[in-house]
């Protein structure tokens, strides 16, 4: 059974940094495409970033230059380093597997971790 | 960015009803269209991928259709557990944008 467990969220002041983790079991992070999606309180879903198994990364324009997606193969864990945080980054952050079928989709999701950016 | 527009934004229906949700893409996305279901406080769940392929374990009362710019998600006979918010998502090009969501409520 695939399980993705996010951690690292919390309350942080604007301009601060936070690193989110997504510990995986039942799948090998570096053999899969992995992604982060966020959801602001009461709002819809917003794709944030993807890390392909081959190492390529892509980011939403709203986080480009501030967020970095990475993985630790020895810990089978995906990360999202978030710097220069803004109030508008407040959201629940989900990690998910991006299926490598011919039609990309997000088929396994974690439960999410809440990031609150506020002074 | 490819804009995804869902309609309606909210919908009231009864158990046993058939409902249809529409998603329109701002440009042609072939069949690179996914549908997700989200319940309050929970992560989204993949229902349909590639516009019409049913994800493993998803009941057959869910179906998807469409190609190009116009897509639909249909639920043939609503069950109590189907009341949730539904999102479409294009995976044709980055950023993988979502629709704004359709909240399906009990009438």
pLDDT of A56 reads: 95
Nearest CB among A50, A103, A109 relative to B43 is that of: A109
What pLDDT shows up at residue A47? Answer: 97
Record: contact A45-B98, CB cut-off 8 A: yes
A76's tokens: 């089978």
Q: pLDDT for B4-48, tens place per residue? A: 999 999 999 999 999 999 999 999 999 999 999 999 999 999 999
Average pLDDT, chain A: 97
- Rounded Cα distance, B106 and B78, in Å: 10
**Contact call for A45 and B101, based on CB within 8 A:** yes
The average pLDDT across A88-114 equals 94
What share of chain B in percent tops pLDDT 90? 98
Residues of chain A with a CB closer than 8 angstroms to some CB in chain B: 37, 44-47, 50, 58, 60-61, 94, 96, 99, 101-107, 109-112
Per the omega criterion (within 30 degrees of 0), is the bond before B15 cis?
Answer: no
What are the structure tokens assigned to A52, written together? 């392909």
**Closest CB from A44, A94, A104 relative to B100:** A44
Rounded distance between C-alpha atoms, residue B51 and residue B64, angstroms? 6
What is the per-residue pLDDT for A88? 98
Q: Which pLDDT score, from 0 to 100, does residue A102 have?
A: 80
Interface test with B, best of A41, A44, A92 (most B CBs within 10 A): A44
B50 falls in which pLDDT band (50, 70, 90)?
very high
Mean pLDDT on A92-97: 98
Does residue A100 carry a pLDDT above 80?
no
Identify whether the C-beta of residue A97 lies closer than 8 Å to the C-beta of residue A33: yes
For residue B46, which residues of chain A lie inside 8 Å, CB to CB?
105-107
Task: Identify which has the larger pLDDT, A74 or B106.
Answer: A74
pLDDT tens digit sequence for A35-81:
999 999 999 999 999 999 999 999 999 999 999 999 999 999 999 99
Q: Is B39 on the interface with A (CB under 8 A)?
A: no
């Amino acid at each position: 059974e695939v399980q993705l467990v996010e951690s690292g969220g919390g309350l942080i002041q604007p301009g601060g940094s936070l690193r989110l983790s997504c510990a995986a079991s039942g799948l090998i992070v570096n053999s899969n495409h992995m992604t982060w999606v966020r959801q602001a309180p009461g709002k819809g879903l917003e794709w944030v970033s993807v890390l392909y198994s081959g190492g390529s990364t892509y980011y939403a324009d709203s986080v480009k230059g501030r967020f970095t997606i990475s993985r630790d193969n020895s810990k089978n864990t995906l990360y999202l380093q978030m710097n220069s945080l803004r109030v508008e980054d407040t959201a629940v952050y989900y990690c998910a597997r991006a299926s490598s079928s011919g039609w990309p989709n997000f088929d396994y999701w974690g439960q999410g971790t809440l990031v609150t950016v506020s002074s | 960015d490819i804009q995804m527009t869902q309609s309606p934004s909210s919908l009231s229906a009864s158990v046993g009803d058939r409902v249809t949700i529409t998603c329109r893409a701002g440009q042609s996305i072939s069949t690179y269209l996914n549908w997700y279901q989200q319940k309050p406080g929970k992560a989204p769940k993949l229902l349909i991928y590639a516009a019409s392929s049913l994800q493993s374990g998803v009941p057959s009362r869910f179906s998807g259709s469409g190609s190009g710019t116009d897509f639909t998600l249909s639920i043939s006979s609503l069950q109590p557990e189907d009341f949730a918010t539904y999102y479409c998502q294009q995976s044709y090009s980055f950023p993988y944008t979502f629709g704004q969501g359709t909240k399906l409520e009990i009438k």
